[in-house]
A and B are shown apart, each in its own frame.
Chain A
Amino acid sequence: EIVLTQSPATLSLSPGERATLSCRASQSVTKYLAWYQQKPGQAPRLLIYDASNRATGIPARFSGSGSGTDFTLTISSLEPEDFAVYYCQQRSNWPLTFGPGTKVDIK
Chain B
Amino acid sequence: EVQLLESGGGLVQPVGSLRLSCAASGFTFNTYVMSWVRQAPGKGLEWVSAISGSGGSTYYADSVKGRFTISRDNSKNTVYMQMNSLRAEDTAVYYCAKDRVERTSGSPNFENWGQGALVTVSS
Contact status B110-A94, CB under 8 Å: no
| Chain A residue contacts of B116, Cβ below 8 A | 43
Q: Which of B37, B59, B114 has the most CB of A within 10 A?
A: B37
Which bracket fits the contact residues of A?
A: 20 to 34
Query: How many whole Å from A61's CB to the nearest CB in chain B?
Result: 20
* A59 and B2 alpha carbons, distance in the complex (Å): 20
Of A13-21, A70-78, A95-103, the one contacting chain B is: A95-103
Of B7-15, B21-29, B39-47, B78-86, the one contacting chain A is: B39-47
For chain B, residues 103 to 123, give those with C-beta under 8 angstroms from any C-beta of chain A. 106-111, 113-116
Residues 34-58 of B, flagged 1 when their CB comes within 8 A of A and 0 if not, give: 0101000000111100100000000
Known: A94-B59, A100-B44. A43 touches B107 (CB 8 A): no
Contact status B109-A46, CB under 8 Å: yes
A62 adjacent to chain B (CB < 8 Å): no
Query: How many whole Å from B7's CB to the nearest CB in chain A?
Result: 15
| Chain A residue contacts of B45, Cβ below 8 A | 36, 38, 44, 87, 89, 98, 101
For chain A, residues 45 to 97, give those with C-beta under 8 angstroms from any C-beta of chain B. 45-46, 49-50, 55-56, 87, 89, 91-92, 94-97
Contact status A91-B46, CB under 8 Å: no
Contact status B95-A46, CB under 8 Å: no
Query: How many whole Å from A44's CB to the nearest CB in chain B?
Result: 6
Q: Which of A45, A49, A87 is within 8 Å of B100, CB to CB?
A: A49
Contact status A49-B114, CB under 8 Å: no
Chain B residue at minimum C-beta to C-beta distance from A92: B107
Known: A94-B59, A95-B47, A98-B44. A43 touches B109 (CB 8 A): no
A-side residues, CB < 8 A to B, are 1, 32, 34, 36, 38, 43-46, 49-50, 55-56, 87, 89, 91-92, 94-101
